[in-house]
């Protein structure tokens, strides 16, 4: 063998060439051994027939080497991927290019597993592809974690149906790709559901909701959509029903499915529901408009005696006038300082940290007394009014913080809720930063609560920028109602979130629903792994608080600690609750 040295070929001794060859063989053997230990390896011919597999391939698939050699690789197909997926794969490698992607396979025992796969074509001396080498890594645990998080973000834990955010996303995609298709959008609300909860208990109410979901699902066509928006409110999309008569027939099938008796706590009940229906495109060309008109129709159905379906019509726009009147009254209340702030303590389960507070809006109506947002919710549909109300709340909160500091009252932080309009106008963020610059507060005094749905849509980037700006000035950031919105893991990873607030819907049945228990435990573990603290909202009983303590939750918020309080009562509550955390009362 000859080696070039400065352009001159110098013959190498034969024994040196042999040594180099043996060394190369040794390194190749080492690489193969290392690869076998780390990866799942298989070689197939161009027809997909398996020629060789390594030990890890057999272990993961459950097949022996004898069962795999000579078999076609289709033996592992799971049915998860559509034909287009494999057409793209085969087209790529048949052209001599390397393919990389994630594949779901089925093991011998029927279990699915995921592998991160790279397939490399090999050519013979004539340039023809003869074999393919597939190198895989098991990513099943990662995929299972993603699935759990996806379900937490998109699936209602009680009924297994899509949740509000999932439904809105599906509806928006349906509208975008509808073309000439027309479809009906409906809202379903259980009649007198509060009476059932109050008389039979929340467990019976949950059973009713699950039964309703199952029965309605059975009455729908395969392409229809059913979701639980929250509480006893469901939403549906009826595809392929362009005419009024077809809508009527489809709705009739739903009522027939709900007509059978239902046993709750040993008593026979019947499911009564009101349904409001509108139609695309006549009833609107956006999810917001369609749901708004379906809601108007739902209100009319309840007003005319319940247990009936009503279709939206132009005459129902009077409902909008009613809402407009409420919004006008609310704006009048804003201008005349009728809005007040109450504070609900956020109490550490274990002693050692100060009590935090959440600022909550109330309307001191001159005729109707103190009103909670549930009463004037329709007024808060106006983004402009929400922004005005939030700035008024923030002004009051900043002033109260200054008073507490003068009195020596130690407050961990005060949480203020921020809405889309607050970030779009920018004044909200400016007011917070100006308060720090002026010395009115320090950044640690305020925690800005955002809901997950703010981070998606066309304004998501602007809100992320605002959050990062607030974080850069030292303000705390909290995810409110975690688990009911988008709940993307990337948001927790990438955004400067300090607190994760678990929605009250997961706390209500914490002691009786294993699924809720598992979700709460997972959120706490996940949050702690990412360096976040956790607040459980809507904690009403000591039993719930004890479970949360055992799961490692950091704070609780709810009636078990305190109801929302006016400013005059906050100082006393902090003195009472701040002595030993919540542990002392459990």
Average pLDDT (51-70) is: 92
Q: Measuring CA to CA, which residue among 153, 246, 230 is closest to residue 187?
A: 230
Check if the beta carbon of residue 482 is closer than 8 Å to that of residue 502: yes
- pLDDT grade, residue 241 (50/70/90)? confident
Query: What is the bridge-based pairing of β-strands 99-106 and 112-123?
Result: antiparallel
Residues contacting 418, CB < 8 A, separation 6+: 390, 428, 448, 449, 450, 454
Which residues sit opposite 257 in a β-bridge? Answer: none
Say how far apart CA 522 and CA 532 lie, in whole Å. 13
Would you say residue 29 has pLDDT above 60?
no
Say how far apart CA 242 and CA 259 lie, in whole Å. 26
In which residue are the tokens 């057999």 written? 58
Average pLDDT (428-453) is: 91
- What pLDDT, on the 0 to 100 scale, is given for residue 320? 66
Check if the beta carbon of residue 199 is closer than 8 Å to that of residue 269: no
Average pLDDT (482-506) is: 78
Would you say residue 341 has pLDDT above 90?
yes
Cα 265 to its chain centre, rounded Å, is 32
Burial class (CB in 10 A: 0-12, 13-18, 19+), 14: exposed
Which residues sit opposite 537 in a β-bridge? Answer: 557
Instruction: Note the pLDDT tens digit of each residue in 161-205.
Output: 999 989 999 999 888 876 677 899 999 998 878 777 766 788 888
Average pLDDT (1-27) is: 48
* CB hemisphere CA count around 244 (13 angstroms): 7
**% of the chain exceeding 90 in pLDDT:** 49
Cα 31 to its chain centre, rounded Å, is 43
Which residues sit opposite 27 in a β-bridge? Answer: none
Best-predicted range by mean pLDDT (132-136, 195-199, 248-252, 301-305): 132-136
Best-predicted range by mean pLDDT (191-200, 308-317, 451-460): 308-317
Query: DSSP letters along 83-102, please?
Result: HHHHHHHHHHHHTT--EEEE
**% of the chain exceeding 70 in pLDDT:** 90
Average pLDDT (217-233) is: 91
Would you say residue 4 has pLDDT above 70?
no
- What pLDDT, on the 0 to 100 scale, is given for residue 198? 66
Backbone angles phi, psi at 378, to 5 degrees: -60, -30
3-state helix/strand/coil string of 115-148:
EEEEEEEEECCCCCEEEEEEEEEECHHHHHHHHH
- What pLDDT, on the 0 to 100 scale, is given for residue 453? 74
- What pLDDT, on the 0 to 100 scale, is given for residue 18? 56
- What pLDDT, on the 0 to 100 scale, is given for residue 262? 81
| All domains of the chain in start order, with CATH | 16-138 (3.30.450.20), 154-312 (3.30.70.270), 338-578 (3.20.20.450)
Average pLDDT (108-112) is: 93
Instruction: Note the pLDDT tens digit of each residue in 125-168.
Output: 888 999 999 999 999 998 888 888 888 888 888 999 999 989 99
Mean pLDDT of the chain: 86
Residues in the chain: 586
Say how far apart CA 17 and CA 289 lie, in whole Å. 79
- What pLDDT, on the 0 to 100 scale, is given for residue 233? 92
Say how far apart CA 22 and CA 550 lie, in whole Å. 61
């Amino acid at each position: 063998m000859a080696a070039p040295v400065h352009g001159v070929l110098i013959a190498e001794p034969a024994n040196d060439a042999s040594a180099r060859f043996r060394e190369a063989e040794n390194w190749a053997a080492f690489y193969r051994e290392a690869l076998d230990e780390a990866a799942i390896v298989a070689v197939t011919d161009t027809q997909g027939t398996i020629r060789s597999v390594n030990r890890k391939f057999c272990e993961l698939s459950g097949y022996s080497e004898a069962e795999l050699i000579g078999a076609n690789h289709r033996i592992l197909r799971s049915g998860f991927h559509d034909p287009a997926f494999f057409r793209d794969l085969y087209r790529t490698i048949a052209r001599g290019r390397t393919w990389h992607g994630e594949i779901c396979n089925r093991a011998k025992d029927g279990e699915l597993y995921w592998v991160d796969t790279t397939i490399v074509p090999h050519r013979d001396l004539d340039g023809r592809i003869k074999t393919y080498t597939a190198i895989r890594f098991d990513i099943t645990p990662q995929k299972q974690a993603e699935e759990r998080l996806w379900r937490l973000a998109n699936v209602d834990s009680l009924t297994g149906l899509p949740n509000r955010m999932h439904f809105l996303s599906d509806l928006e995609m349906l509208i975008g790709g509808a073309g000439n298709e027309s479809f009906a959008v409906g809202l379903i609300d259980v009649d007198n559901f509060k009476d059932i909860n109050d008389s039979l208990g929340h467990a019976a109410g949950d059973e009713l909701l699950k039964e309703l979901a199952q029965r309605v699902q059975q009455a729908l066509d395969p392409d229809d959509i059913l979701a639980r928006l929250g509480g006893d409110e469901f939403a549906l999309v009826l595809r392929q029903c362009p005419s009024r008569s077809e809508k009527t027939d489809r709705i009739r099938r739903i009522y027939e499915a709900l007509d059978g008796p239902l046993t709750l706590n040993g008593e026979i009940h019947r499911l009564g529901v009101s349904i409001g229906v509108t139609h695309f495109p006549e009833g609107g060309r956006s999810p917001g408009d369609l749901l708004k008109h379906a809601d108007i129709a739902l209100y009319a159905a309840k007003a005319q005696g319940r247990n009936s379906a009503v279709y939206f019509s132009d005459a129902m726009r009077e409902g909008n006038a009613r809402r407009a009147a409420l919004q006008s009254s609310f704006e009048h209340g804003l201008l005349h300082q009728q809005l007040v702030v109450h504070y609900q303590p956020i109490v550490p389960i274990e002693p050692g940290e100060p009590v935090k507070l959440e600022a909550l809006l109330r309307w001191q109506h001159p005729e109707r007394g103190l009103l909670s947002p549930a009463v004037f919710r329709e007024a808060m549909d106006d983004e402009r009014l929400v922004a005005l109300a939030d700035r008024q709340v923030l002004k009051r909160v900043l002033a109260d913080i200054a008073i507490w500091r003068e009195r020596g009252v130690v407050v961990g932080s005060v949480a203020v809720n921020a809405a889309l309009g607050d970030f779009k106008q920018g004044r909200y963020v400016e007011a917070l930063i100006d308060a720090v610059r002026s010395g009115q507060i320090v950044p640690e005094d305020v925690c800005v609560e955002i809901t997950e749905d703010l981070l998606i849509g066309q304004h998501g980037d602007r809100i992320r920028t605002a959050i990062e700006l607030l974080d850069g000035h030292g303000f705390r950031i909290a995810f409110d109602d975690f688990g009911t919105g988008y709940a993307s893991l990337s948001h927790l990873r990438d955004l400067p979130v300090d607190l994760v607030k678990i929605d009250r819907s997961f706390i209500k049945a914490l002691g009786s629903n294993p699924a809720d228990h598992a979700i709460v435990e997972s959120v706490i573990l996940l949050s702690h792994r990412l360096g976040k603290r956790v607040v459980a909202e809507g904690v009403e009983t000591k039993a719930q608080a004890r479970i949360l303590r055992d799961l490692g939750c950091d704070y609780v918020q709810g009636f078990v600690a305190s109801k929302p309080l006016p400013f005059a009562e906050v100082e006393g509550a902090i003195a009472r609750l701040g002595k030993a955390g919540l542990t002392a009362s459990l």
